[in-house]
Amino acid sequence: MELDLDFVRAQFPAFSAEETRDWAFFENAGGSYVPATVSDRLARFFVDHKVQPYGAFALSKQAGEEMDESYAAIASLINAAEDEITIGPSTTLNFYILAQSLRHLFRAGDEIVVTNQDHEANIGCWRRLSEHGIVIREWCVGKADGELDLNDLEELISDKTRIVCCTLCSNLVGTHNDMAAIAEMAHRVGALVVADGVSYAPHVIPDMKSLGVDFYAYSTYKTFGTHQGVLWGSRKSLKKTEGQGHFFNEEKSRYRLNPTGPQHAQIAALAGITEYFDDLHKHHFGQSDLGLHERARQTFELVGDHEAKLANLLLDYLKDREDIRILGQDHATPGGRASTIAFHARAMPSKHIAEQLADSKIGVGAGDFYALRCVEALGMDPADGVVRVSMVHYNSVEEVTKLVETIDSILPGN
């Protein structure tokens, strides 16, 4: 069975709105479009009951119920318990707070492994702990392909290692890292594993019960929702954290690692994501006895196949050009390489390519995307960065064909 793209696109107002309908949008790793189920819920919250939730009056109760619905939906989606998740303003902030909350565990000389493949969100907050005598060990990407080699991690890990921080999928290189193997190595020496799922979650529905990590974070504004970040920790790992909110909120899972407090309307809208996934499931598979998590996973098998097809359409063109360097693998497989494709063209600065594509109503990104260390490790000029084409399941073959033809017309002949 194939993903019914007409049905998919009909759920997203952006594909029919006058301002956006003519655009081929490929900057999804920067933030995706939202289905009507999300924008409707957000509008409903603001218009119908934008009041302090959990109060005595009906409007307030309704506001609280909608937030509760979202906490339950997001937890179910990733097969987690509600008290294992924190929904905070962003992944960067969630990681920062997590790092502070674990600081008390470490002594001078303890080691934390970070990569130079990650987005800075899962690097900088850990590196800051060196101010307290913690030693940072860097797991470096291969200079040619930008990939992380497990043998290098084996060399870095020792009985001094306390945490291994690594992305599930780089926002530039696109390869899915073997998190089970990483976690196995880290756990062998008693270290915790902090996984960044921001570039992974738009493509895969992870299962917190089997992912094998201790902490996992992703951003809902890149997964068809509002601008929030979800942080999951296993109960055992959460017990190791120190609360970072007000002292009287110490035992409240929604506040402990979220000193800001929940952002009401943004959270209330998140149930629109799972509502959309369920609509997709019902359309493709009919009524089902499966739970929400299993339904989403089944739907995402179709998503994975579709995204791999799109990615290979672009990769097949790019890899035939001698003047283009692709970051990471030049072939996509579901679960192997995401449809996030970064490249550098010898003949033209990345920003110029993005600008010229924009003239044809094609939206791509250009720059370092806060994976500055990765760009530098690959010997590229950070001022120029890369062009990034990030596709998700609502992109179409027609859009990718237009992209390929337009790149071909912009760049000088091969």
Place of tokens 């084996």: 154
Radius of gyration of the chain from its Cα atoms, rounded to whole angstroms: 21
Given candidates 70, 86, 91, 258, which one binds ligand PLP under the rule CB under 6 A?
A: 91
Considering the complex, what minimum distance in angstroms separates the CB of residue 298 from ligand PLP? Answer: 26
> Which letter does DSSP use for residue 60 in this model?
H
Buried b (16+ CB within 10 A) or exposed e, 51-85: bebeeeeeeeebbbebbbbbbebbbbbbbbeebbb
Q: Are 133 and 109 in contact (CB under 8 A)?
A: yes
Pick between residue 15 and residue 26 the one whose CB is nearest to ligand PLP: 26
Q: Which stretch binds ligand PLP (CB under 6 A): 89-97, 137-145, 296-304, 388-396?
A: 89-97
3-state SS, one letter per residue, for 301-367 = HHHHHHHHHHHHHHHHHHHCCCCEEECCCCCCCCCCECCEEEEEECCCCHHHHHHHHHHCCEECEEE
One of 11, 76, 79, 167 touching ligand PLP (CB under 6 A) = 167
- Name the one range near ligand PLP by CB under 6 A: 90-98, 137-145, 270-278, 329-337: 90-98
171 binds ligand PLP (CB under 6 A): yes
For residues 121 and 165, which CB has a smaller minimum distance to ligand PLP in the complex? 121
Question: Whose Cβ is closer to ligand PLP: residue 220's or residue 241's?
Answer: 220
198, 311, 366, 403: which one binds ligand PLP (CB under 6 A): 198
Residues 225-254 contacting ligand PLP, CB under 6 A: 229
What is the C-alpha to C-alpha distance for residues 119 and 123, in angstroms, rounded to an integer? 7
The answer to the question of residue 196 lying near ligand PLP (CB under 6 A) is yes
- Give me the residues paired with residue 230 across strands: 87, 218
Could you tell me how many residues of this chain bind ligand PLP (CB under 6 A)? 13
Segment interacting with ligand PLP, rule: CB under 6 A, options 84-92, 99-107, 296-304, 384-392: 84-92
Amino acid identity, position 72: A
Instruction: Among 199, 237, 241, 329, indicate the residue that binds ligand PLP (CB under 6 A).
Output: 199
- State which residue, 63 or 198, has the beta carbon closest to ligand PLP: 198
Segment near ligand PLP (CB under 6 A), from 36-44, 194-202, 252-260, 384-392?
A: 194-202
- Nearest-angstrom CA–CA distance, 229 and 237: 19
Token pair recorded at residue 352: 């110029």
Among 119, 254, 293, 373, binds ligand PLP (CB under 6 A): 119
Least distance in angstroms from the C-beta of 21 to ligand PLP: 26
Closest CA to 41 of 264, 276, 268, 273: 268
Question: Least distance in Å: CB of 51 to ligand PLP?
Answer: 27
CA distances to 42, 77, 161, 247 from 105, rounded to whole Å, are 39, 31, 12, 19
In the complex with ligand PLP, which residue's Cβ is closer, 198 or 292? Answer: 198
Can you name the residues that pair with 115 across neighbouring β-strands?
A: 139
Interface residues with ligand PLP (CB under 6 A)?
Answer: 29, 90-92, 119, 121, 167, 171, 196, 198-199, 219, 229
